[in-house]
Amino acid sequence: MLLSCVLGAWSFPELFVVPLSGPSDWEPVPIAGVQTECSEVAGSVPFTLCVHRTAESSSRDLVIHLHGRRGNATWWNDREYYTGEVHAEWARVGTPAPVVVGVSFGPLWLLTDENVEEGSPALLDVFDQEVVPAIERAIGFEPRQRIVVGESMGAVNALLLVLRRPGRVDRAAALCPPLSTGSPFVGFVETSALVAESSTTWQRAFMLRGLGRHFFRSEAAWHRHNPVRLAAAARPEQTPSLYLLCGRRDDWGCMEGSLALVEAARGRNLALDWHPRDGGHCDVDVPSLARFLAR
């Protein structure tokens, strides 16, 4: 019986991992002076937009925030999150805070060109054709600059957006993206080698395998969306400035994948602001990130 359970979990990890990705019960504590208005948009795939405006800010810049797994569009306005520290840094140096719009398709989603559910459109197309116009209608002005930032799952989404749809934004920040260097379709021996040679734990490797097999139907599809491969083929004149951050003790395999992305980006002469950190998952360098997002 135990052997059957183990084999079943290894063969169909998504059946075990995806149910663990329900909504978080985390309640953000609002940042002083930041007002949030949320709306549900009934597009071809429903999504939520939350517009976060800072009182008395004259900025005409737009930051699009893509949350991590189990999150939602309200997560930006939280004084106890790294986002609260970013606002404090803007206030400290006298930088007008941009308008920030949080976007969410639910607690678990990825901007791919595949439809996870039969008959539904690909979220990358929905984001490009429906979400971006809805954001600009919601803020009510033509942005001077468009910047995207995401953490964890949202960081992967930020990279997919700028590398699969070049020219849509001016800058992109990817904070602690779980960029596995191994395919979710490889066997047990290959996965064992990956765990042994990286900072990834068996638990995280199993979760990444399950999430990868949930979003991608084949190894070819996974490779087609691999940010490292995309960066290695990117054209510098079409790729916006990138900000990448990862902690050396991140147990999601972030560091190995990030180093591979750095090598690929530098090989293509892409504009890259790389920030290795000493901490764990999403150890954020607030001053440099605040400067990157609002300059």
pLDDT score at 8? 52
Residue 176 or 2, more confident: 176
Q: Residue 17 falls within a domain, yes or no? A: no
Q: Residue 125 falls within a domain, yes or no? A: yes
Cβ of 236: how many Cβ atoms within 10 Å? 10
Q: Is the pLDDT of residue 118 over 80?
A: no
Please choose, from the candidates 52, 35, 55, 59, the residue with its C-alpha nearest in 3D space to the C-alpha of residue 102: 52
Instruction: Return the exposure string of 166-194: e unless at least 16 CB atoms fall within 10 Å of the residue's CB, then b.
Output: eebbbbbbbbbbbbbbbbbbeeeeebeeb
CATH of the domain at 57: 3.40.50.1820
Tell me how many domains the chain contains: 1
pLDDT score at 10? 63
Q: Residue 202 falls within a domain, yes or no? A: yes
Q: Residue 228 falls within a domain, yes or no? A: yes
pLDDT score at 9? 66
Give pLDDT tens digits for 76-112.
999 999 999 999 999 999 999 999 999 999 999 999 9
Cβ of 23: how many Cβ atoms within 10 Å? 12
Range of 240's domain?
Answer: 33-293
% the chain with pLDDT above 90: 77
Tell me what the mean pLDDT of segment 118-132 comes to: 91
Residue 201 or 34, more confident: 34
Measure the CA–CA gap between 186 and 282, rounded to whole angstroms.
27
Q: Is the pLDDT of residue 7 over 50?
A: no
Q: Residue 15 falls within a domain, yes or no? A: no
pLDDT score at 2? 38
Please tell me the least confidently modeled range out of 25-34, 107-116, 171-180. 107-116
Give pLDDT tens digits for 18-30.
998 999 999 999 9
Q: Residue 7 falls within a domain, yes or no? A: no
pLDDT score at 1? 45
Give pLDDT tens digits for 254-267.
899 999 999 999 99
Q: Residue 262 falls within a domain, yes or no? A: yes
pLDDT score at 222? 93
Q: Residue 140 falls within a domain, yes or no? A: yes
3-state secondary structure the chain: CHHHHHHHHHHCCHHHHHHHHCCCCCCCCCCCCEEEEEEEECCCCCEEEEEEEECCCCCCCEEEEECCCCCCCCCCCCCCCHHHHHHHHHHHHCCCCCEEEEEECCCCCCCCCCCCCCCCCCHHHHHHHHHHHHHHHHHCCCCCCEEEEEECHHHHHHHHHHHHCCCCCCEEEEECCCCCCCCCCCCHHHHHHHHHHCCCCHHHHHHHHHHHHHHCCCHHHHHHCCHHHHHHCCCCCCCCEEEEEEECCCCCCHHHHHHHHHHHHHHCCCCEEEEEECCCCCCCCHHHHHHHHCC
| 99-104/34-41 β-pairing | unpaired
pLDDT score at 198? 79
Q: Is the pLDDT of residue 3 over 60?
A: no
pLDDT score at 262? 98
pLDDT score at 193? 84
Residue 214's pLDDT band (cuts 50, 70, 90): very high
Measure the CA–CA gap between 182 and 194, rounded to whole angstroms.
7
| 34-41/146-151 β-pairing | unpaired
% the chain with pLDDT above 70: 96
Question: Is residue 161 a contact partner of residue 127, using CB atoms and an 8 Å limit?
Answer: yes
Q: Average pLDDT over the chain, rounded to whole?
A: 92
Measure the CA–CA gap between 6 and 32, rounded to whole angstroms.
49
Q: Is the pLDDT of residue 5 over 60?
A: no
